[in-house]
Amino acid sequence: MRLQAAAVKLGYGDRTIVDGLDLGVEPGTVTTIIGPNGCGKSTLLRALGRLLKPQGGEVLLDGKRIDRIPTREVAKVLGVLPQAPTAPEGLTVADLVARGRHPHQTWYRQWSSDDESAVAEALAMTGLADLAERPLDELSGGQRQRAWISMALAQGTDLLLLDEPTTFLDLAHQVEVLELVRQLHHAAGRTIVMVLHDLNLAARYADRLVAMRDGRVISAGAPHEVLTEELLREVFELDAKVIPDPVAGTPLVVPIGTHRRS
């Protein structure tokens, strides 16, 4: 296991959101966490990325307790991209991506040729080289999200946690970002854990789906095992048909609800 949550209890203050949850992330896989709003999926991701300290249980990175490893060492193997991050106005793409090199720099050695090639590579990989000198706030939503992912790439970690990387994006840009994620996975065998809202895209781009409700894992496994009509009823309280995606063959969710007949 690359990353593991063992009987974690998570919450903010007195409010417990997740209690006694176990989850393991296999190396070299794309794991996607799905679940209704407030089910604790983002909270779990934050704990996996040591942004939230568990109230009980532990998170293990490569078998070692993550809170016992110096945070800067963690930052060299594990990158986290929170939901809808904000940048100061006027920050350029190149500057943002360069900040991904932070864990590799010391106060006396701020910039090395390693940093330079990592930044150049991250920019090229995300297709942002031509936009390097543009301020982030002049970019489209999809480009901006790619810039943040590019920063996480420059960090040079082979483990990436992405919290709803497609929020606020239209469908075309969602696909663009997820194609990039898949490419990162294929090109360098990175291990990726992400939280997604769109079930069909989740099924399309994940090796493994984890469905959560009320702070518990209801089902975990390959998309076609997890995404069933019974699970949708249990987890989302949604009546839906699940048919094979005509393009990829992965499960496709068609909600029933009330509808028009032609």
Cβ proximity to another protein: between 120 and 220 the closer is 120
Closest contact distance (angstroms) between CB of 30 and another protein is 19
Cβ proximity to another protein: between 124 and 254 the closer is 124
- Site of interaction with another protein (CB under 8 A): 46, 49-51, 70-76, 78-82, 85-92, 94-96, 98-100, 102-103, 105, 107, 110-111, 116-117, 119-121, 123-124, 129-130, 132-133, 155
Closest contact distance (angstroms) between CB of 151 and another protein is 8
Cβ proximity to another protein: between 110 and 140 the closer is 110
Closest contact distance (angstroms) between CB of 7 and another protein is 23
Closest contact distance (angstroms) between CB of 171 and another protein is 26
Using CB atoms within 10 A of its CB, is residue 82 exposed (0-12), middle (13-18) or buried (19+)? middle
Distance of CA 258 to the CA centre of its chain: 33
Cβ proximity to another protein: between 81 and 195 the closer is 81
Closest contact distance (angstroms) between CB of 103 and another protein is 4
Closest contact distance (angstroms) between CB of 136 and another protein is 10
Cβ proximity to another protein: between 121 and 234 the closer is 121
Taking alpha carbons only, the member of 49, 38, 46, 45 closest to residue 15 is 38
Two structure tokens written together for 44: 């779990």
Residues 6+ apart with CB under 8 A from 180: 126, 146, 149
Cβ proximity to another protein: between 106 and 262 the closer is 106
Cβ proximity to another protein: between 40 and 79 the closer is 79
Four-residue CA torsion sign, 243, 247, 250, 256: negative
Residue with tokens 């974690």: 8
Closest contact distance (angstroms) between CB of 206 and another protein is 22
